[in-house]
Structure 1
Amino acid sequence: MSKTIVTETNLDKHNADLSGKSPQEIVSWALSIAKNPIITTNFRPYEAVILHLVAQIRPDITVLFVDSGYNTEATYKHAQKLIKDLNLNVITYIPRQTRGYRDVLFGGIPEVDSPLHEEFTEQVKLEPFRRALSELNPDVWFTAIRSEQTEFRNNLDVLSLSKDGVLKVAPLYHLKSEALNEYLVNNGLPSIATYGELDYFDPTKALANRECGLHTQI
């Protein structure tokens, strides 16, 4: 993977320097040091914020969408609208195995406490994501993770490093849902009222406050 000037040694210093900065300032700083940045998205409603925020500054940035094949109809329609409205440069990665194959292999989507669930998650999310990062070779990875989402994420910061040393930048890290709703309305983006936060499904998580392994293993 490509590397940035941010390392484990100076990570805390850079996070301190970005403390109190606005999401726009964080994005501008990260893009100023990036050679090959990407945004990752699952097209949940609040993801429109980071897609709009980054695309306003870097319109041609690569947007990585790992499509598990289990998204709701509303999510796919929402994705198509954002791609068109924001003119996003989306690259989609999918699992190597078909959904039909997994239905036979796993008998459908395994329960989260099933020993099969780890392999299911590997197939539909982690392997395609690793493959994408290997082929796209980014040095900066914009992500919409926020501190209030899970206990694990609450222990991170605006900047963190992937296991391969890619700089993960979370411009929305300190924002609450209310601020994101306001951003959506102010910028004419599909709001939670028109889309529905609950009309989204991630088969690898089951619960909103559960980690799927993406940010703990990659």
Structure 2
Amino acid sequence: MTLQTDIDTAAAQLKGKTPQEVLTWALGNYKNISLASSFGAEDVTLIDMIAKIKPDAHVFTLDTGRLNSETYDVIAKVQQKYPQLQLRIMFPQAEAVEQMVSAKGINLFYDSVENRKQCCFIRKVEPLGRATKGLDAWITGLRRDQTANRSTMETVELDGDRNIAKINPLIDWTNEQVWDYIRANDVPYNALHDQNFPSIGCAPCTRAIQAGEDLRAGRWWWEMSNQECGLHVTSDGRLVRAKDV
């Protein structure tokens, strides 16, 4: 059987399963697997869940060099609460950042979509490639109701660019379910969430949202049209989902 066939079978079998059941399945089926965490609400929820299943599970995060201080604070709190967790912090290649900033300026991303995508690639996408190298699968905190782009995602998908499985245990959860879990389990979370930041990325590229705005409206708000940075799209710009591969 092909990897795609295996993933399609798993996706069908895992429909309706709880995130904990999905995580237990994933940890049992993939030897080299890691949770990707930006330390937003969904990701700290998954950290708490996975630590209760496998305390020394592997987690990686992308430190772009432009994160909010509140993000570093929650990373420290998570490390204190889950000391066995194997956290790997990935940084962008210094030379690539230096060349980009020298050529286009420190805040180049405001000048054009092309510049913003270049910055996202150097600071996030390329480090993600290094973080996932050698893995059989990676776990994300994606939810279907976050954006229209993510509405067709499945619990288990094929990451076609990396030819590994992509596990989305919270894909069926709502924002309310995530926060119910955080409060019930006393999970450390980013203080910016209390300041109307439902989605938190790099500091210059994230703002608080207003009442009635989409949960992702605070990301790259000056573009008004793009809600993805490239981590969850294929190399040709499409969203990563099994039916596209």
TM-score (norm: length of structure 2) = 0.78
The whole-number CA distance in structure 2 between the counterparts of 1:69 and 1:78 is 16
Q: Which amino acid aligns with 2:228?
A: E
Runs (5+) with no aligned partner, structure 2: 207-218, 236-245
Q: How does 1:66-105 map to 2 (within 5 A)?
A: 66-87=62-83, 88-97=85-94, 102-105=100-103
CA contact 2:132–2:138 (8 Å) conserved in 1: no
In structure 2, the residue matched to 1:22 is 18
**Count of aligned pairs:** 212
Once residues 178 and 13 of structure 1 are traced to their aligned partners in structure 2, the CA distance between those partners, rounded to angstroms, is: 29
AA aligned opposite 2:114: P
Which residue number corresponds to residue 148 of structure 2? 151
Shift of 1:111: 2.3
Q: Give the match's secondary structure for 1:160.
A: strand
Mapped partners of 1:155, 1:36: distance in 2: 26
Q: What are the Cα deviations for residues 24-82 of structure 1, in whole angstroms up to 9, with x where unaligned?
A: 11111111111111111111133210011111111111111111011101111011101
Q: In structure 1, the residue corresponding to 2:138 is in which secondary structure?
A: strand
**One-letter identity of the residue aligned with 1:128:** P
Match of 1:212 in 2: 229
What's the CA shift for 1:147? 0.5
Confirm or deny: 8 A CA contact 1:49 1:180 kept in the other structure.
yes
Mapping of 1:103-114 within 5 angstroms?
A: 103-109=101-107, 110-111=109-110, 113-114=112-113
User: Which one scores higher on RCO, CA 8 angstroms, separation ≥ 6?
Assistant: 1
- List alignment gaps of at least 5 residues for structure 1: none
CA distance in 2, matches of 1:112, 1:174: 36
Question: Which sits farther off after the overlay, 177-186 or 85-94?
Answer: 85-94
Identity %: 26
Distance 1:35 1:41 in 2: 19
Deviation at 1:193, TM superposition (A): 7.3
Aligned twin of 1:33: 29
Structure 2 CA distance for partners of 1:124 and 1:57, relative to 1, 3 Å: same
Q: Which amino acid aligns with 1:120?
A: C
**Which residue identity lines up with residue 144 of structure 2 in the other structure?**
S
Q: Distance in 2 between matches of 1:211 and 1:194?
A: 20
1:54 pairs with one of 29, 36, 50: 50
- Secondary structure of the 1:68 match is coil
